[in-house]
C-alpha cells in the first residue's frame, strides 16, 4: 500500500532545516506520497525548491489557519492542513488505497516506523518518545490486546494520544466522510479526529513490536539565542543584522 505522509509546515527560521531533515528521512521510504501543506497564503518558493530537489513524489498545498483562530493564545497548529489533506483524498473520484500518517515537520522518525505502518488495515497505534516533558506516550497492552494508554496528560480525552502515535487506512476516511475532521481545539485535535472514525478497541493494531519500541519522537527545534522576531521568508534584507566594520 501507498503511504500518504501529511506534513503541516509554516514559515520560521527552522523551517528549511526541519524539512531537509525530514526529506532526507523520507528519501529512504519507497511507495509514498508526501503532502507538504503550508500554513500560508502563498506557496513558499524555498519549500518548493526543496521539494523539487529531493524528487520525492509530493503535493505542495496551502491551508492557512483561519483568521478566527489566529488571535488565540493557543493556536490549533497544523489542523487546517491535516483537514485539507483529508478533503483532498476524499475528493478523488476513486479514493486511493493506502495508509495515512500525520508527520509533523519537526519530529524524528525511525525508518522502521514507515514499513510498520504500511500494514495498517484499519488503525494502528504505537509509542511516541519525548512527549510533553515525559519519556513517552504509549498504548498499553495486556496479552497483546489494547487495555489503555499512558500519556503525561489525559485531559478527559477518550484517546489520550500524540499526533505521531497512530496511522489509519484510507478506507477509514471513506466510511463516514462527513464526520472525519480534526477539530480546531488545541490539545484535543487527536481525540476529536479519532472519535470521528468508526472503530473498536479490538480493531486497534499495535505496532512497533507490540508497542515495546519507540520509533518516532516528538522533538522540537528552538534556537533560543536567536532574535525573537518572526523570520519572513520574503525578507532578504539582512541589513538589520549587519554592522559595518
Ligand atoms: C503537538 C502535536 O504533535 C501537533 O500535531 C498538534 O497540532 C499540536 O501539539 C497542538 O496541539 O497544537 P507541537 O510540537 O506542540 O505539536 O506543535 P508544532 O510542532 O509547533 O506544530 C505541529 C505542526 O503544525 C508542525 O508540523 C508545524 O510545522 C505546524 N504548525 C505549527 C503550523 O502549521 N503553523 C503554526 O503556526 C505552528
Ligand atoms: Mn512539534
Q: Whose CA is nearest to atom 21 of ligand 1?
A: 77
- Residue 229: pLDDT over 70: no
CB atoms within 10 A of CB 10: 17
Residue 205 Cβ contacting ligand 1 at under 6 Å: no
Q: For 186-226, what is each residue's pLDDT tens digit?
A: 999 999 999 999 899 999 999 999 999 999 999 999 877 65
Residue 151 Cβ contacting ligand 1 at under 6 Å: no
Q: What is the pLDDT of residue 238?
A: 60
Confidence of residue 52 (pLDDT cuts 50, 70, 90): very high
Q: Is 97 a catalytic residue?
A: no
- Residue 234: pLDDT over 60: no
Q: Which ligand sits nearest to residue 65's alpha carbon?
A: 1
Asked whether the beta carbons of 50 and 20 are under 8 A apart, the reply is yes
Q: For 119-149, what is each residue's pLDDT tens digit?
A: 999 999 999 999 999 999 999 999 989 999 9
Instruction: Calculate how far, in angstroms, residue 95's C-alpha sits from the geometric centre of ligand 2.
Output: 29
Catalytic residue among 97, 190, 205, 232: 190
Cell of residue 129, nine digits: 518518545
pTM of the model: 0.92
Confidence of residue 241 (pLDDT cuts 50, 70, 90): low
Q: Pairing mode, if any, of strands 145-150 and 166-169?
A: unpaired
ipTM of this complex prediction, to 2 decimal places: 0.95
106 is in an annotated binding site: yes
Element (H, E) at 38: strand 32-38
Q: What is the pLDDT of residue 222?
A: 85
Measured CA angle at 189 (ends 183, 191), to 5 deg: 105
Residue 18 Cβ contacting ligand 1 at under 6 Å: no
* CB within 8 Å of 198: residues ≥ 6 apart: 172, 175, 176
Give domain 2-241's CATH superfamily.
Spore Coat Polysaccharide Biosynthesis Protein SpsA; Chain A (3.90.550.10)
Q: For 64-102, what is each residue's pLDDT tens digit?
A: 999 999 889 999 999 999 999 999 999 998 878 999 999
Instruction: Calculate how far, in angstroms, residue 220's C-alpha sits from the geometric centre of ligand 2.
Output: 5
Amino acid at each position: 500500500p501507498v503511504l500518504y505522509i501529511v506534513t503541516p509546515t509554516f514559515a520560521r527560521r527552522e523551517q528549511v532545516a526541519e524539512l531537509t531533515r525530514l526529506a532526507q528521512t523520507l528519501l529512504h521510504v519507497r511507495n509514498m506520497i508526501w503532502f507538504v501543506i503550508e500554513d500560508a497564503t502563498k506557496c513558499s518558493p524555498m519549500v518548493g525548491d526543496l521539494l523539487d530537489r529531493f524528487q520525492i513524489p509530493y503535493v505542495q498545498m496551502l491551508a492557512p489557519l483561519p483568521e478566527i483562530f489566529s488571535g488565540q493564545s493557543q493556536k490549533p497548529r497544523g489542523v487546517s492542513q491535516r483537514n485539507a489533506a483529508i478533503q483532498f483524498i476524499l475528493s478523488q473520484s476513486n479514493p486511493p488505497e493506502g495508509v495515512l500518517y500525520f508527520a509533523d515537520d519537526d519530529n524524528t522518525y525511525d525508518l522502521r516506523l514507515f514499513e510498520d505502518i504500511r500494514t495498517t488495515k484499519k488503525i494502528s497505534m504505537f509509542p511516541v518518545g519525548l512527549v510533553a516533558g515525559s519519556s513517552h506516550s504509549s498504548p498499553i497492552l495486556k496479552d497483546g490486546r489494547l487495555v489503555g494508554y499512558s500519556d503525561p496528560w489525559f485531559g478527559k480525552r477518550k484517546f489520550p494520544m500524540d499526533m505521531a502515535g497512530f496511522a489509519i487506512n484510507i478506507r477509514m476516511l471513506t466510511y463516514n466522510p462527513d464526520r472525519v475532521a480534526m477539530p480546531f481545539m488545541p490539545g484535543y485535535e487527536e481525540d476529536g479526529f479519532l472519535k470521528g472514525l468508526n472503530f473498536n478497541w479490538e480493531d486497534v493494531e499495535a505496532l512497533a513490536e507490540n508497542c515495546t519500541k519507540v520509533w518516532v519522537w516528538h522533538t522540537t527545534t528552538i534556537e533560543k539565542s536567536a532574535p525573537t522576531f518572526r523570520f519572513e521568508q520574503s525578507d532578504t534584507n539582512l541589513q538589520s543584522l549587519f554592522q559595518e566594520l
